[in-house]
Amino acid sequence: MRGRAAYGVPVHDVHSQDRHLVRLEWGPVGARELTAHATSRGPVYAVVVDVLSFTTCVSVGIDRGMRVHPFAWEDRSAEAFAAERGALLAKPRRDAGPGDVSLSPASIRSVAPGGRTGGIVLPSPNGSAISALLRDAGATVLTASLRNARAVGNWLSGRLGDRAAVIIIAAGEKWPDGTLRPAVEDLWGAGAVVDALAGWLGDRPGTLSPEAALAQQAYQLVVGRLDLELAACSSGRELLAAGYAIDLAIAAELHDSDAVPLLRDGAFVQAR
């Protein structure tokens, strides 16, 4: 959103959260808003959170030693993109048959360690599209899920200089009309990253934006029963109804992964 607020202050200035080190917004529009000004002031680390299931899939792929190529569209161009890289193409869940790889963490876990040399291509209208937007804005892009939130937070903690910023983007879902549906599982995943960072940053006032602090609080409310809460939320119920209980179980593997997926040369790889 552009223009001026009711009191004459530019809208993009008041929405930038730029008084805070750790910031949080939702979806592609939020990603665009937070990066519009942050990249001109210092290094920006952007963390995409799409728990069910893009960023959980990325963490599983990195655990299996694969390069994970995000791709924003589900059409024939994805087939050509994968073929050029000698990579496996993940199919939509609805189209995947036995033995196929899809946007299902369980299917990716079934691939032999190392997988195909070219890795895996993950078409995703949310997580992949947001990753590309953040990359094009000049941010250093990572992904996080509940599985690897602590690892990502620990990695970031050693890279926070005076002018650095951490932007966490909860991807959310889309309603049938294409508008954003905030997804509570992404709020919890984002909060898990904030919680890991807060352990390093201490109690300095203003470090967390109110939006980031709220995500941390939401995560702390459910941390002891994440499996139950994931199964009860709207996105989880949708997966259960479709027969993907195993994907919910993988998504709930809190801090089980040391993967720190970093977008480099068009693919997520293990950060060093």
Q: Which residues contact 134 (CB under 8 A, 6 or more apart)?
A: 31, 35, 46, 48, 141, 167, 169
The pTM for the full model equals: 0.92
Question: What pLDDT is recorded for position 1?
Answer: 41
Cα–Cα distance measured from residue 126 to residue 123, given in angstroms and rounded to the nearest whole number: 9
Cα–Cα distance measured from residue 173 to residue 191, given in angstroms and rounded to the nearest whole number: 17
Question: What pLDDT is recorded for position 202?
Answer: 79
Domain spans, the chain = 11-60+123-270
Cα–Cα distance measured from residue 189 to residue 153, given in angstroms and rounded to the nearest whole number: 12
| Among the four given CATH numbers 3.10.310.10, 3.90.1560.10, 3.30.43.10, 2.40.160.50, the one describing domain 11-60+123-270 | 3.90.1560.10
Contact (CB, 8 A) for 144 and 46:
no
Residues of the chain with pLDDT under 70: 1-12, 39-40, 74, 114-117, 162
Task: Give the model confidence (pLDDT) of 135-155 as tens digits.
Answer: 999 999 999 999 999 999 999
